[in-house]
Structure 1
Amino acid sequence: MSGIDVRLAQKPDVKALARVLGRAFFDDPVMMWMVPDDARRAKALPRVFGAMTRHHFLAGDAVEVSSRAGAVGAAALWDPPGRWKQTQGEELRMMPSFLLAMGTQVGRGLQVSELMKEHHPEEPHWYLGVIGSDPDMRGAGLGHALMRSRLDRCDAEGAPAYLESTKESNVPYYMRFGFEVTGELTIPGGGPTMWQMWRRPA
């Protein structure tokens, strides 16, 4: 797509991509359940995404950003096959940021994480942990360019891909890229639902 630049993210990109993902997930049902207060959530999400990227995803060399006119407008946090589980060390390094961001609600975040881990597919695959675009730049093709970039590689490698959609309205979007719903995860205690989606290589 013209004018869109997709590239691997480096450490200096973390702040910008964390801000973009924080804005993208501000109205996400799972994030709203984890951090109900709007003002707190606006501050918490960039911290959470920054910590996840810095202490886990960057090491997998599969974090991508898409930019237009030099401004990062969307980001995707992927894990290569066999790397989706966070190590104990990674979890420990992330925890101070999570506690600072979420305070007493950090237990809800851990609950969501455990539920996702428990139902994660065993078969080797590329895992799309997070993808989002800045609300001000939605519809410009930035997210589409990110999806195509990595899925083209999945197809070249003959590798499946997996994600959890935290918004029902996004399910048809992912289906257009070849993902199919394989299950639903509902967070206990009145929490929202996530849709498990799997994509076979084309």
Structure 2
Amino acid sequence: MSSSTPILTAGPEEAPFLAGLVAAAFHDLDAARWQIGDDELRRAAFPGYFQGYVAHTLAHGVVQVTEDRSAAALWLVEDGGPQPEPPLPEPHVAAMLGPWAERVHLFDRYLHAALPTPGRPFEHLAILAVLPGRQGKGLGTALLEHRLAHLDETGVPAYLEASGANTRKIYLNHGFVDHGEPIRFPDGPAMYPMWREPAAR
């Protein structure tokens, strides 16, 4: 599947759709449940929350999708230096999230604290999302391998946070190694920062 799946670059006009795709793909993840423990509120809030991620990546990186738009990868181009602290949720977003607003912001802060500062450019796989009905068909692998091949050609390292132990194993098989300690959320799950040097050309 991965070698024959066409990979395309998404444009700004697709941002609302892509945010919905990511929201659907991430709805049941342990980290998502930790952020917003109310299923209905999470379903309502996530598209808007992820639209910010999509818009930021479109402006500062690249968003790649499978041809059928059932999977997407958001790659941020980082300069290797310190990054600004994540902003607080907008007041209207905080009002909608209610008691969960603090956790949503805390989640972003924990991921920010784990970001590497190697002093050289790298690409950050911020999100790799596959629609629930299309998972397990190699689409995520196709997106991953497509971009990693480009990074190998250009000599650029990559970074990501694996959402759990199982996805960590997948990334280990693609040349990533653990980068520092796991990100452990208070009374919640762990995520795994990982780094990959480009393969020798």
Range into which the TM-score falls when normalised by the shorter chain: 0.7 to 0.9
Aligned to 2:198: 201
Aligned to 1:114: 109
Q: Any idea what SS the aligned residue of 1:128 has?
A: strand
Aligned to 2:29: 28
Provide the rounded CA distance (Å) in 2 between the counterparts of 1:84 and 1:62: 19
TM-score (norm 1): 0.85
Aligned to 1:5: 6
Provide the rounded CA distance (Å) in 1 between the counterparts of 2:74 and 2:193: 17
Aligned to 2:66: 66
Provide the rounded CA distance (Å) in 1 between the counterparts of 2:26 and 2:50: 10
Shift of 1:7: 1.4
Aligned to 1:184: 182
CA distance 1:154–1:3, shift in 2 (3 Å): closer
CA distance 1:163–1:28, shift in 2 (3 Å): same
Aligned to 2:50: 49
Choose which of 137, 154, 158 in structure 2 pairs with 1:157: 154
> C-alpha deviations, 1:69-95, integer Å up to 9, x for none?
xxx10111111131897768x947x73
Q: Any idea what SS the aligned residue of 2:144 has?
A: helix
Q: Report the RMSD for the aligned CA atoms in angstroms.
A: 2.4
TM-score (norm 2): 0.86
Provide the rounded CA distance (Å) in 1 between the counterparts of 2:166 and 2:96: 27
Letter in 1 for 2:107: V
- Once structures 1 and 2 are overlaid, which stretch shifts more, 116-125 or 21-30? 116-125
CA distance 1:178–1:10, shift in 2 (3 Å): same
Provide the rounded CA distance (Å) in 1 between the counterparts of 2:30 and 2:42: 12
Q: Any idea what SS the aligned residue of 1:198 has?
A: strand
Identify unmatched segments of 5+ residues in structure 1: none
Shift of 1:49: 1.0
CA distance 1:31–1:58, shift in 2 (3 Å): same
Q: Is the 8 A contact 2:80 2:116 kept in 1?
A: no
Identify unmatched segments of 5+ residues in structure 2: none
Provide the rounded CA distance (Å) in 2 between the counterparts of 1:106 and 1:174: 30
Provide the rounded CA distance (Å) in 2 between the counterparts of 1:176 and 1:36: 32
